[in-house]
Amino acid sequence: MIRTVILGVGNSASAFVQGLAYYKNLEKNNQQTNENGLWHPLVGNYKISDIELVGAYDIEKNKLGGIDLHKSIFSPSNKLEKFIDLDSSGVIVEPGLLSDARMNENLQSSIEWSKDKGFDPFLEDDFRNSLKNKNPDVVINLISSGLHKSSEKYAEIACSIGSNFINASPTSIATNPQFVKIFNDKKLIVIGDDLMSQFGGTAFHKGIMNLMHERGIRINKSYQLDVGGGIETNNTVDEDLRALKRNVKSNTIESELPYDVQTVSGTTDFVDFMGNSRTNYFWIEGDSFLGSKVRFDIYLRSTDGPNAGGLLLDLVRGIQYSHDLKESGTVDELSNFGFKSTITKNDLRQSYKNFSQKYIL
C-alpha cells in the first residue's frame, strides 16, 4: 500500500478523495476504470486500490475539530460538487502549519481560518510528530498558492521523517536545488512545482500550439485569460501572486515551441458563482503559406477539482514506483508530465511519451 497524506483539504483534495473511493469501488467490482474517466488504471505496478489515505491537515476551522475527511471535503468553503456518497474514512483532519507571517487579503477573506475560532495551527514539533506517527510514503502539498514558507516547511518536515513529496503549489520546491539535494541525500523523491491540470487551460494551450507548429504554422503571439470561482481563483487575483502564476504559465507555454513567441497567460478575474468551474479564453495568431494569417479564438470550460484529481492519482503511484526503483532527488519524467514549473523542459507530447514509456507498463 502507498500510505498517503494530504496537506490542504480544498477542492483538489475533494476530487482526489472522491475519485479514490469511486475507482476503488469499480476495481472491487471488476469494472473497467478507464471506461469511467480514469486516465491510467495502472501506473508502474500500482492500481488505485494500492493508495491508502492515512492523514489530512488543514488550517480552516470548518474542516477541523474532530471532523472526518469524508465530511471535511464538503465544508462550505469547498465548491466541488458531491459526486458520490462516502462512508467514514477513518481519517480525522488535523491542524496544519501556518509558517507565513500573513496571508494575502483575498485568501484571508475567503476562508474562516482556525486561529479566529481557537483551533491554533500545530507547532512545528507537534506537526512533525503527528506526521511521523502516520508513517506516510507520500505527502501531497495542496495548500493555497502564495503560502511559500508553509510549503517550504512542509517539504522540509516530510523529508526529515522519510516521506516522498509532491508539491502542487507554485512555491519553488522541486525546482529549488537545495530541496532537491536534501531529498536526494535522504534517498527520497520530490516532484513539482505547480500542478498542471489534466485537461485545463495550460495543457490545452500547449497542445494547440504544438499542433499548429507541427502543421507548419509560425506562431507570432498568443494569450490566455482565465476566469473562475472558488478560493484558489480568488487567492490568485492578488497582484503579487497573479504575477507569479502568470510568469509560470507563460514560461511553460513558451517552452512548447523551439523559437521565441510573445505569450501572456494568467487568471484575470474571480466570479464567485462559478464555484469550482473555470473558463479559459485563448487567442493565437500565426503565419501560414505565403504569410497568410491563421488566428485561433476559442474558449474552454472545465472543472478545477477533477482536472487535478486524476493527475494526482497518477503522480502518487508514479512517485512510489520511482522510489521502488531506488530513484531519488527529483524525477524529470514525473515533474514534466504533471507540472508547469520544472527544471528541465519538454513539449507536451515528449513529456507524456517519457512518462508512459516508464510508468505505463
pLDDT, tens digit (0-9, with 9 covering 90-100), for 22-66: 999 999 998 887 778 999 999 999 999 999 999 999 998 889 989
C-alpha cell at 264: 501572456
* Section 307-322 average pLDDT: 97
In the chain, pLDDT over 90 holds for what percent of residues? Answer: 74
Q: Per-residue pLDDT averaged across 105-110, rounded? A: 59
What is residue 305's predicted lDDT score, i.e. its pLDDT?
A: 95
Whether residues 174 and 244 fall in one domain: no
Give residue 49's pLDDT.
Answer: 97
* pTM listed for this prediction: 0.92
> Could you tell me if 350 and 217 are in contact, meaning their C-beta atoms sit under 8 angstroms apart?
no
Domain, as residue range, for 187:
2-196+306-359
C-beta neighbour count of 126 within 10 angstroms? 13
Distance of alpha carbon 156 from alpha carbon 164, whole angstroms:
11
pLDDT in tens, 240-295: 766 777 788 788 888 899 999 989 888 778 898 899 999 999 999 999 999 999 99
Q: Give Cα separations from 248 to 32, 93, 194, 349 (angstroms).
A: 36, 31, 8, 19
Domain end point (choices 303, 320, 351): 303
Cα-Cα-Cα-Cα torsion 175, 186, 328, 141, nearest 10 degrees, comes to -50
346 in the same domain as 220? no
Same domain, 296 and 312: no
Domain count, the chain: 2
Tell me the DSSP string of 239-295.
HHHHHHHHHHHHHHHHTTSSS--EEEEEEEEE-GGGTTEEEEEEEEEEE-GGG-EEE
Q: What CATH number has the domain bearing residue 295?
A: 3.30.360.10
Q: Are residues 14 and 64 in the same domain?
A: yes
State the Cα–Cα distance between residues 128 and 148, nearest whole angstrom.
Answer: 18
Q: What is the mean pLDDT of the chain?
A: 91
pLDDT at 6 over 80: yes
Q: What is the pLDDT of residue 131?
A: 98
Alpha carbon separation from 222 to 77, 256, 258 (Å, rounded): 34, 12, 15
User: Are 277 and 291 in the same domain?
Assistant: yes
